[in-house]
A = this chain, B = another copy of it.
Amino acid sequence: MAGFLCLYNKIAEVMQMRFSKMFIPTKREIPTDVEIESHKLMIRSGMIKKSASGIYNQLPLGLKVERKIENIIKEEVEDADFREMLCSALIPSELWQESGRWARRGAEMFRLEDRTGKEFCLGPTHEEVFTDIVRQEVSSYKQLPVKLYQIQSKYRDEKKPRFGAIRTKSFTMFDAYSFDKDEESLNKSYEEMIAAFKRIFDRCGVKYSLVEAESGIEGAPSSIEFMVKSEIGEDELAICSDCTYAANRESAECMPREFEAEELGTLEEVHTPDARTIKDLEEFFGAEGNRFAKTIIYYADGKTVTVVVRGDREVNENKVKRAIGEVEEFGLATDEMVKDVTGSEVGFAGPIGINSDILLIDEEIANGKNLITGANKTGYHFKNANFGRDFEGTVGDFRNVREGDKCPKCGAPLKIRRGIEIGHIFKAGQKFSENMNAMYRSEEETDEYIHLGCYEIGTERLTATIIEQNFDADGIVWPLSVAPFEVEIIPVNLKNEDVVNTAERIYKELKLMGVDVLIDDRDARPGTKFKDSDLIGIPVRITVGRDLKEGLVEMKFRNSEERELISAVDAAEIVRDRLL
């Protein structure tokens, strides 16, 4: 019979899982130009092979892990009613021009022309292509939601490819897109996909945190990153030491620090000729950073934006940008601009009497008492400056969180950790459909823009992070769910016919049971086989050797030092039952 099961049964049946025929080029030597463990181990175990900086080919063992991860993803997202399709990686520039991203995407996008001069990019992501398909095929609310995904090669011209599969120019990505008629329906798709992503990462055996994130320059209204803590991560995370709160530092919040109750002092101008930095001022005034109102001036599309935070804080520019709305140009003001706004030399800015288009006051400043701040007059500062009495401004959260700040949800201390993003989901909302005119006819006979949700997992990066969390001195220690094989059988001596026959019998029995089993049938020394076995990290190892005289074989789990002698006759069944 044809059909699903039979198709796959046939693959399982014909697939030779013999080391001698698998092309697993393991290596003893540790590669030199390699910085992290997963990269070393993926090279040493023969999973990947480099073609150029940031460009890797997946060898059979690496691809087997990739396929296991892909299958877990497919199962979970099919369950959430997403359907698989496959787009070309070549995307015509018109679609990106329509969305407005052709100009905004920088050097990270590979661009090329065909022989007629028509421009294309190599897709780093596919919002435009999917939106284009859906706008052509969907006209009525009755056809929504549409939920689609693909698993495909993506391309990004990374400035500095590094860390092996973590940051590459060419990689495999699962990307999914939900098209909903309204926000409520989008929220449902979004929540269902958060649950699906959790199941995917749980099944892959990776430890991760859900992190509230700013999305990139596309500025989506709401997004969640799935992050793995790692020293090599590019993102900084604020993670609560007690509750589940976690956020990208770019958008993380914390409770404002409290001030001791204190009488308001009289505003007083102080001559401070040589003190311009907070450090100088701390010495001069004999006070700590938290007593200062630090004043930073930015420009934004021709306007000046002044931000006031406590002296021991940094301004979070992201929060500032969110507060002032979308701008094209944003940056620190030049010295000239500072002089214009303050009417003084650089180093004496303060909120009192400043001539700025926009004045943003961090809530810790608004709550503060008797602060020290610049007087907008060269060589002078104020003492006892107080919000409300001495200056006004728009109050909000404009500060970066720091290690030890209080969690905004529960008040426990926050930790700052580096992390790697393995998954990202965000609500693009109506942004793409407005730009690309993707509309549907509603039940009320009006034309409405479709709501888009986007969902991404970098599969090779996920593989690398799983290894980062699962290795020891001898090699990889795969979780069962994503191991390239579940069981490895090692016949110790190929010259002993009993050993070979028993190993082959157990191998065939396990295959018939549907277990993913490798037999190391190479004519190699036992030491080589054991070293390779530890290196490639198959969860269960069955050694057929000297104990066979007593009718026994050895079973050992990769994540434990214990060895167990089991009946050679029943070995397959025993192993299968232990895998359940």
Please tell me if A85 contacts chain B, counting CB pairs below 8 Å. Answer: yes
Which residues of B lie under 8 Å from residue A3 when comparing CB positions? Answer: 486, 513-516, 579
Please tell me if A111 contacts chain B, counting CB pairs below 8 Å. Answer: yes
Please tell me if A257 contacts chain B, counting CB pairs below 8 Å. Answer: no
Which residues of B lie under 8 Å from residue A86 when comparing CB positions? Answer: 57-58, 63, 66
Which residues of B lie under 8 Å from residue A74 when comparing CB positions? Answer: 11
Contact: A55 with B8, CB < 8 Å?
no
Cβ distance A45 to chain B, nearest Cβ, rounded Å: 13
Q: Report, as a range, how many residues of chain A touch the other chain.
A: 35 or more
Which residues of B lie under 8 Å from residue A514 when comparing CB positions? Answer: 1, 3-6
Which residues of B lie under 8 Å from residue A75 when comparing CB positions? Answer: 7, 10-11, 14
Contact: B83 with A51, CB < 8 Å?
no
Q: Identify 17 residue pairs between A and B in the complex whose beta-carbon atoms are under 8 Å apart, listed by A's number.
A: A1-B576, A1-B580, A3-B486, A3-B513, A11-B75, A14-B75, A15-B78, A23-B146, A25-B137, A51-B95, A57-B87, A59-B133, A63-B85, A63-B86, A89-B170, A110-B112, A111-B112
Cβ distance A466 to chain B, nearest Cβ, rounded Å: 15
Contact: A89 with B153, CB < 8 Å?
yes
Please tell me if A408 contacts chain B, counting CB pairs below 8 Å. Answer: no
Which residues of B lie under 8 Å from residue A11 when comparing CB positions? Answer: 4, 71, 74-75, 78
Which residues of B lie under 8 Å from residue A57 when comparing CB positions? Answer: 85-88, 129, 133
Contact: A90 with B155, CB < 8 Å?
yes
Please tell me if A394 contacts chain B, counting CB pairs below 8 Å. Answer: no
User: In the bound complex, how far is the Cα of B52 from the Cα of A95, in angstroms?
Assistant: 10
Q: How many chain copies?
A: 2
Residues of A within 8 A of B (CB): 1-12, 14-16, 21-23, 25, 46, 49, 51-52, 55-60, 62-63, 66, 68, 71, 74-75, 78-79, 81, 83-92, 94-95, 107, 110-112, 114-115, 118, 120, 122, 129, 132-133, 136-137, 146, 148, 152-153, 155, 157, 159, 169-170, 480-481, 486, 513-516, 576, 579-580
Which residues of B lie under 8 Å from residue A152 when comparing CB positions? Answer: 153
Contact: B56 with A85, CB < 8 Å?
no
Given A59-B133, A110-B114, 5 additional A-B pairs, CB 8 A: A5-B5, A23-B83, A56-B88, A57-B133, A111-B112
User: In the bound complex, how far is the Cα of B255 from the Cα of A235, in angstroms?
Assistant: 74
User: In the bound complex, how far is the Cα of B78 from the Cα of A118, in angstroms?
Assistant: 40
Contact: A170 with B133, CB < 8 Å?
no
Which residues of B lie under 8 Å from residue A60 when comparing CB positions? Answer: 83-85, 148
User: In the bound complex, how far is the Cα of B24 from the Cα of A148, in angstroms?
Assistant: 12
Pick the contact of A5: B9, B59, B81 (CB < 8 A): B9
Which residues of B lie under 8 Å from residue A155 when comparing CB positions? Answer: 90
**Interface of chain A: mostly helix, strand, loop or mixed:** mixed
Look across to chain B and name the residue whose beta carbon is closest to the beta carbon of A46: B137
User: In the bound complex, how far is the Cα of B516 from the Cα of A263, in angstroms?
Assistant: 78
Contact: A78 with B16, CB < 8 Å?
yes
Contact: B133 with A49, CB < 8 Å?
yes
Look across to chain B and name the residue whose beta carbon is closest to the beta carbon of A153: B89
Contact: A84 with B55, CB < 8 Å?
no
Which residues of B lie under 8 Å from residue A12 when comparing CB positions? Answer: 4-5
Known contacts A2-B481, A14-B75, A83-B23, A132 near B88 by CB under 8 Å: no
User: In the bound complex, how far is the Cα of B486 from the Cα of A380, in angstroms?
Assistant: 84
Contact: A114 with B78, CB < 8 Å?
no
Look across to chain B and name the residue whose beta carbon is closest to the beta carbon of A576: B1
Which residues of B lie under 8 Å from residue A159 when comparing CB positions? Answer: 115
Look across to chain B and name the residue whose beta carbon is closest to the beta carbon of A49: B133
User: In the bound complex, how far is the Cα of B49 from the Cα of A92, in angstroms?
Assistant: 14
Contact: A4 with B8, CB < 8 Å?
yes
Pick the contact of A55: B55, B85, B88 (CB < 8 A): B88
Contact: B85 with A51, CB < 8 Å?
no
User: In the bound complex, how far is the Cα of B9 from the Cα of A4, in angstroms?
Assistant: 8
Cβ distance A214 to chain B, nearest Cβ, rounded Å: 25
Contact: A2 with B56, CB < 8 Å?
no
User: In the bound complex, how far is the Cα of B515 from the Cα of A580, in angstroms?
Assistant: 26
Known contacts A23-B146, A66-B86, A486-B3, A14 near B169 by CB under 8 Å: no
Q: Which of A4, A8, A90, A159 counts the most chain B CB atoms within 10 A?
A: A4
Which residues of B lie under 8 Å from residue A51 when comparing CB positions? Answer: 87-88, 90-92, 95, 129, 132
Enumerate the 4 nearest inter-chain pairs by beta-carbon distance, A residue then B residue, closest first.
Answer: A5-B514, A8-B8, A25-B137, A112-B112
Which residues of B lie under 8 Å from residue A55 when comparing CB positions? Answer: 88, 90, 92
Known contacts A3-B486, A49-B133, A153 near B14 by CB under 8 Å: no
